[in-house]
Chains A and B, each alone.
Chain A
Amino acid sequence: MAPSSPSESCPQPLSTAENDLQPFFVLHKASHHGKDRTSAGQGKSRKRNKLSPILSQSANKPEGSSTEECDRYMRRKMQIEAFDIVWTKIESTIKDVLRDLNASVFNNIQQWVMECFDAIRLVGEPSIAEATRSFPVLNNTTPLKVYSALVITRNIEFVDDIMTFEELGLFLKSHGCHVTKLSSMEFSLKNGIAGCLKALLREFIGSSFDPADIQTLASWYREQDNYNKPLVLMINDLERCCGSVLTDFILMLSEWVVKVPIILIFGVATTVDAPRNIFPSHALECLCPSMFMLVTPAERMDAIVESVFIKHCTTFNIGHKVAQLLRNYFINQDGTVTSFIRALKVACLLHFSMEPLSLIQGRVIVEDQLRNSGLSPETMLKYMEELPSHASYNLSRNKMDDQTNKSMAEGLSELLTVQKLWSTVVLCLYEAGKYSGVRLLDLFCEALNHVLYPSRDSVCKKRDEKDHDLSLTNDPCQQYSIMQSGGYICQIVRKVRDLPSGKLDQLIESWEKLTVDISEIYEKLKILQSSIRCKDGKSSLRNSKDISKRGVSKGSINNDKDSRMSNLQAIAFLDDLVRNYLRPIEGIPFHEIFCFKNVEKLQLVLIGDPRRTIQVDLLEFHNMLHCSCCNKSGKALLPSMHDSSIMYSLAQEHGDLINLHDWFQSFRTIVQHTNKRKQKPKHTPQPKKRKDTTGSEDQNEASIQARFCRGVIELQVTGLVRMPSKRRPDFVQRIAFGI
């Protein structure tokens, strides 16, 4: 699911950035532009702030020299290109991952299509004369059915699968089928059967026919080059189609299936028996369905996380909170991989636009691409010097001591190595986790959590002094710190504890594969293996003995005790790994270079939550417009407030039905309230108010009514109230309830 896919949820990269960054800017800048409080004013400010993030960023940078401008420009350019490099890398990896995930299913489908086609051909290959005939082919066999595949995209949102079906289509085309895709729009009740046939012909033949009938398709199919190929028709959202139209369509196809071997592929979002709800029985009767499962979005997600964050953890990484946010967004908001990727992209962009040091990263990547090797402090150093901030730093302090510089380089390289270790550990845990169905996404979030990390240390320290009494406790594996710290890791380890020996061996082998190039872990693994092996030897020996003298039960007990022992050792190994190497990136110096941590901004970008913000802004408006008049008063409604906010806070007192008259009365009392104490200086230059200070009473009355009306309209426009219905003309209905 490349984010530049034509689905509605992910527009082009930069536009994404700008659009999504909007709310953040508004709020950010609003503090500076406290004066203008009308919506128009905000609009203005928004326009003014259409600058790039860097501006706001550089605003709070210490130095203010004359070289600022060009310098900033330079940096900005470099930032953009760095972003491009990194993002293209991530994107390509994601693409590959997704493709690999789908490959097997695609192959299955393609085989199946061919089988169906052969089955149809077996029934009979009518000559062109017979095929274009209006009556069915005569044969004594039972009537053929329309072969149809239910491709189950196990996600109620079908955004992710648009691309999947595109690719499937290309795949089948390349394997010699005529492929077309019809959307559910073609199967609408309005156009009826004519509409979808027209679309079908347009897709297959190319030109459109005003009386579209399937006979045309038949005669087209029989022409020399088209013959001998199956016709595949993909409808990628079955649930959206109008059942009756689709029924007619299928019945018609079933009449022609011998002459026009069309094979249907439905994308089913929900469950296998979705067709049962859509089609009547006589349509189901002429379908010959078979089912294919795509991978669940959760699995996709894990694959992506693994490849992006863990395998290539040094390209770009995210902090714990960010990960948490993304995870919750995925699980609670919309579980589309697409939006996850988009979020990731935004994060990436934010990172590069806000984090000056992040420039290094881009270079690192380039370096990797040239000759993929871990980078040495020297190269690191080189980048540092080219760093513009660094240059300005030089300007300011004419002499640089390479001491700091060196240390910095060291730190960086160290960071990289630590990251490598971290990722290996996570992978090991994931391997173990596969037995207890732990999602990598969750594990990832926990592994990033730097709050947990020190606690683990402390626990194990505590353990050292009161080792002995712990050993007395009946459950020996309680002594390992990871067992105490709850969460996924704990869960995994528990599972490992109860793992049967066979599975355990598999697990250890898989660990071996993972850790083979990380020396320090590999050694530990070796130790573990050897110890377990010798034990197995012993146990097997004893077993033979036991069997010789029929103490089988006792033997078995011993046996499972041994296996428990080996499990314990495995746990010990894990515990060791977790304690020593599972250092979250945020705990390490210089991590800012690779790691994006700023949750609030990302959240603002992702979840605008307009309904909520509108209400909040109306109620606590002076958080936004810091006007001197209102902020001193706590909850009390002052006339100096903006009309609509007054009215909305008044509305809070009513139920979901607001009596207009009462509302108006209370509104007027508040506004009138001003005119009593007029002497109070006013910072809200409301033209009407100025007028009604001088104007006569009835004018005043009228203007108040006008303001009231305008307020109501504004609330309606913002979607907070609904206008009176015919039935109850004097009541407004509240639509938005508690925040």
Chain B
Amino acid sequence: MDKEEAPRRMTRFSASTSTSNILHATKGNNLETLTTNELLVGGDSISLDDIIANFPARSSQILEIARLLGPLNSPLLPLFMYGGASTGKTSIILQLFRHLNRPIVYSSCRTCYNQRILFESVLNQLLLHRKNVANCYTNAKRCERPSDFVNFLREALTSVINNLKEKSNKLVSGNKIHGGMGNIIYLVFDNFHLVRDWDKSSTILPLLFNLYDMLKMPEVGLIFISGTSPDTFYSNMGYVEPIPIYFPDYTEGDIRQILLRNQANQKLYSSFLDVALRPFCRITRQVGELSNALKPLFEKYCEPLSDKGKGVIPTEDMKRRLFNHIKPHIASSLNDVFKVSSPASSKVKVGKETKHKGSPKRSERFEEIGDLDFHMSTSAKYLLISSFLASRNPATLDASLFDSKGGSDNRKRKRKASEKVLEKKEILEEELLMKGPGTFPLERLIAIFQCIVSVAEEPYDEEEPNSNELGAECSNGSLISDVLLQLSTLCNANFIFKGKSCPIEGSTRYRSTISENLALKQVARSLKFPLSKYLYRN
């Protein structure tokens, strides 16, 4: 019965703190009302068993951390929690501190994206500083150098720890030891693996790892949370490793529990999971991605049911029916990573657009603009194609591919050549193709562009019957005119990558980054341009 007592006392305690927060939230929070309670996670208290219940398949980790954190006021060697994305590292540590009701200083190295901001956010929390209009959102201390940081940190910590101590002394005098928040303060660094990418990581990493030895304060506990294992942190100068705590990814069973956690109709959902979960787990085991993929699928699953399957208890044959209903959708959504929903009115036509993209369902005339569902001027299209060719074909073949007569007949010549050469040359070319698109100078692009345009003009004219000589003249004449303009447009649209200027030539080199699909299926078709004829290998 004493067991009951403790949490209730805690509730009262933390409740009072939270109310106080809200209080000075309302009256434009002047600083002196901020107490060390700010450092508590807050919220009404939660028992260890609840935490374990909330995080399926994490009981061992939770207990381990709880043990390592130890009883009140017992010092702690640095901990290092690591595990993949969405394995509950952060939320578990926070919940634990909510349960233990001890002061922490949390800073995520993602939000604090460089060392200065990290330092200053830590100091802000320790100095109970909150940004607002009054202090025009400035930080408590300005601190860029590690040396300053350590000094400031020492000062701040000592002050905080002192008033923690007297607080707990008060509690002891009121002989309730267990209600107190103790006099150890824990520094938590989340997303710690990101620190490696910072520019000064060679100094900041060892600093943070050695912080405990450097401070020599037994009242400070360090907790690092990282996405990657400690062995990925080894740098040229070693340091003493902290104590590792490993969060493995969830197994299929665990994922099942997690997904079931807050579902309206448990039975139905589990029957759904029986069908859907396994195939998805073969692809990825990240809970986030799985839930993303499964949510729309479950809606599909419920479609045949009345009222979206609120109250139904699935019978066997119903399951079978639903299974047959869902099977095709599973197959399709397995291979889809990124779904774009389209709300409200535009849904219908959008659906059409995306479904048969590049299917020749529109009329001849409209095809000139349409078929790729975004507008692009003809010369830009030609330029795009020529850039694609320039990236795909080896430069040596340009002469043979584009002469005055166009690609048609000298294709045979190329054939003979490629028959002469041996397998290994082919392999080399294949690898070259694998290496991805090559770069090319502007001149080559323009040359190819002009060849293409001059070749493609005649069919282009036949294609539009009533464009009289003016139209034709203007089209071929000025297609060439503002290549550079079009080029910049294409660069902006990410279709062509503009590289650095290479030192010898002094000229910028370009690389086309569009997929063959886009180039072939859509652009070339919309121009009725025989692209495959010009491709060196296809």
Contact = CB atoms under 8 A, between A and B. Distances in A.
User: Is chain B in direct contact with chain A in the complex (CB below 8 A)?
Assistant: yes
Interface of A: 104-105, 108, 111-112, 115, 127-130, 132-136, 138, 140-143, 150, 152-158, 193-194, 197, 205, 207, 209, 211, 213-216, 219-220, 222-223, 237, 239-240, 248, 251-252, 255-256, 269-278, 281-282, 284-286, 289-293, 296-298, 321, 324-325, 327-335, 436-439, 442, 446, 449, 486-488, 491, 599, 603, 607-612, 656, 722, 725-727, 733, 735, 737-738
A682 B191 CA distance: 83
B443 interface: yes
Contact of A332 (B98, B341, B379, B466): B379
Contact of B480 (A275, A488, A611): A611
Nearest to B341: A290
Contacts of B338: 273, 275-276, 284, 289
A271 B494 contact: no
Interface in B338-352: 338-346, 349-350
Nearest to B106: A135
Contact of B504 (A282, A330, A726): A726
A437 B365 contact: yes
Nearest to A212: B117
A290 B489 contact: no
A251 B90 contact: no
A331 B113 contact: no
A214 to B, nearest CB: 6
Contacts of A220: 133, 137
A297 B94 contact: no
A437 B366 contact: yes
B219 interface: no
A214 B125 CA distance: 15
Contact of A138 (B41, B121, B262, B350): B41
Contacts, number: 285
B362 interface: yes
Interface in B114-147: 114, 116-117, 120-121, 125, 130-133, 136-137, 139
B297 to A, nearest CB: 15
Given A138-B94, A214-B111, A292-B346, A437 B363 contact: yes
B213 interface: no
Contact of A285 (B98, B107, B190, B292): B292
B425 interface: no
Which bucket holds chain B's interface residue count?
Answer: 35 or more
A129 B22 contact: yes
Interface stretch (B63-71, B244-252, B414-422, B468-476): B468-476
Contact of A284 (B291, B337, B368, B477): B337
B366 to A, nearest CB: 5
A270 B374 CA distance: 6
A105 B343 CA distance: 11
A611 B443 CA distance: 14
A142 B374 contact: no
B376 interface: yes
Nearest to A443: B365
B465 A486 contact: yes
A219 B465 CA distance: 65
Contacts of B403: none
Contacts of A240: 492, 494
B538 interface: no
A130 B22 CA distance: 9
B481 interface: yes
User: What 7 A-B pairs have minimum CB-CB distances, sorted nearest first?
Assistant: A129-B21, A128-B25, A609-B481, A135-B106, A154-B374, A239-B494, A332-B378
A136 B108 CA distance: 10
B412 interface: no
B117 A211 contact: yes
A289 B340 contact: yes
Contact of A219 (B132, B190, B471): B132
A491 B21 CA distance: 74
B505 interface: yes
Contacts of B470: 321, 324-325, 599
A156 B380 contact: yes
Contacts of A128: 21-22, 25, 29
A74 to B, nearest CB: 36
